[in-house]
């Protein structure tokens, strides 16, 4: 079947990035909404989306959408959906939920109603009054926004930011999905130098290296729907073989990461090794003020401290001034910096060429983009 309705959830501000990924992956009927990108596909596309989407949060199967302002409406319209197409007789399923600006505001009650309706539908399909729920797991989400109900099944399990290489992380780490988006939104390409002077546990350099080598972000992890009866295990096997064959092992990008914290750098090295890209990233312990930019026409992409904690503000302001001074001395470089500090540009000493609102977790930030000149073309 190629008419499965899928949703890739996104962080607000990254919808266009995920849409571009969906187009590049060949998905059909792509539509963009706040916080999600919808498209249609087959079981093979569920596998492909989970393996290859770098910037999405999760991949969901959209079972249905309808308006409901009473529990009876919620029950009957949920029951009318084809749950047995996905959930087998021994399937173990849970219901999670959220409700925003809706008449049905009690999330626990909505979860209970949906669970009951799904059970009734499965009773009709399997002609039984009892389900052992000993099989694969299925997570159903009931989302209600302004009385419009959307019912989905999670195919991913753990969020797609969990690539499998970062068992160790420092305090307040940048999610891998956001780090990837920062790289994809920049003018960096694998032929150019990349530097992150506040690299922490190495997420931005590692994600850049994975992009440069065309490594599928979900290659080294498992997904909830791998255990589902409807999805042939051969689809997963073939997709992983194809993903391994697509890796450009001979690509050697020049990537640097530095941080004041020696413990963070050790974690970054371990993470890079686990991700299989430690051979193309140079990590070192160094404060931002002493960073020397390697070469010309490079790209700096970083997530510096924001000064959110008491007593840090003056120190962070000083860091931003120092970073701006370094970049001013290196006019061929481009820089891309995410921060919640609203007066960042005045400290940096330059107005951004572009600015995009993004959320780093729950923190509202801006992604400042300072574009340097393009590198000269190399003569063939």
**Taking the domains of the chain in order of start, what are their residue ranges?**
4-154, 176-216+225-370
| Helix, strand and coil in the chain, % to nearest 5 | 35, 25, 40
Q: Please tell me whether residue 282 adopts helix, strand or coil conformation.
A: strand
Say what the pLDDT of residue 220 is. 92
Q: Do residues 255 and 279 touch, judged by C-beta distance below 8 A?
A: no
Say what the pLDDT of residue 284 is. 97
Say what the pLDDT of residue 310 is. 60
Round to whole Å and give the CA distance between 126 and 39: 30
Fold of 4-154: VC0802-like (3.30.2130)
Q: Do residues 333 and 308 touch, judged by C-beta distance below 8 A?
A: no
* Enclosing H/E stretch for 210: helix 203-212
Is pTM beyond 0.75? Reply is yes
Say what the pLDDT of residue 378 is. 72
* Residues of the chain below pLDDT 70: 1-2, 168-172, 310-311, 379-380
Fold of 176-216+225-370: Rossmann fold (3.40.50)
Say what the pLDDT of residue 343 is. 95
363 contacts: CB under 8 Å, gap ≥ 6: 306, 308, 340
């Amino acid at each position: 079947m190629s008419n499965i309705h899928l949703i890739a959830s996104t962080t607000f501000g990254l919808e266009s990035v995920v849409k571009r990924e969906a187009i590049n992956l060949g998905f059909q009927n792509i539509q963009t909404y706040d916080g999600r990108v919808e498209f249609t596909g087959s079981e093979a596309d569920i596998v492909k989306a989970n393996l290859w989407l770098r910037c999405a949060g999760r991949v969901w199967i959209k079972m249905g959408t309808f308006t409901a302002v009473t529990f009876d409406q919620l029950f009957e319209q949920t029951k009318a959906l084809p749950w047995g197409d996905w959930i087998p007789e021994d399937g173990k399923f849970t219901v999670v939920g959220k409700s925003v600006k809706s008449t049905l505001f009690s999330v626990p009650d909505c979860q209970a109603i949906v669970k009951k309706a799904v059970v009734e539908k499965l009773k009709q399909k399997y002609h039984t009054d009892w389900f052992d729920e000993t099989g694969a797991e299925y997570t159903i989400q009931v989302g209600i926004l302004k009385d419009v109900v959307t019912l989905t099944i999670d195919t991913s399990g753990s969020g797609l930011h969990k690539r499998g290489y970062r068992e160790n992380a420092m305090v307040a780490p940048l999610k891998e999905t956001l780090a990837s988006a920062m790289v994809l939104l920049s003018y960096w390409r694998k032929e150019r130098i990349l530097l992150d002077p506040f690299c922490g546990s190495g997420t931005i350099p590692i994600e850049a290296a994975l992009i440069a080598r065309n490594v599928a972000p979900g290659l080294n992890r498992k997904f909830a729907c791998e255990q589902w009866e409807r999805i042939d295990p051969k689809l997963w096997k073939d997709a992983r073989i194809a993903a391994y064959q697509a890796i450009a092992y001979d690509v050697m990008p020049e990537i640097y990461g530095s941080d004041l914290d020696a413990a963070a750098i050790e974690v970054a090295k371990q993470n890079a090794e686990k991700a299989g890209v430690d051979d193309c990233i140079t990590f070192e312990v160094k404060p931002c003020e002493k960073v020397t930019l390697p070469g010309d026409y490079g790209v700096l992409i970083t997530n510096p401290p924001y000064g959110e904690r008491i007593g840090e503000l003056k120190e962070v302001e000083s860091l931003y001034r120092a970073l701006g001074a370094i970049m001013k001395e290196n006019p061929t470089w481009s820089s891309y910096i995410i921060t919640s500090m609203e007066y960042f540009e005045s400290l940096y000493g330059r107005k951004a060429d572009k600015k995009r609102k993004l959320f780093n977790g729950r923190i509202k930030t801006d992604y400042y983009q300072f574009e340097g000149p393009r590198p000269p073309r190399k003569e063939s």
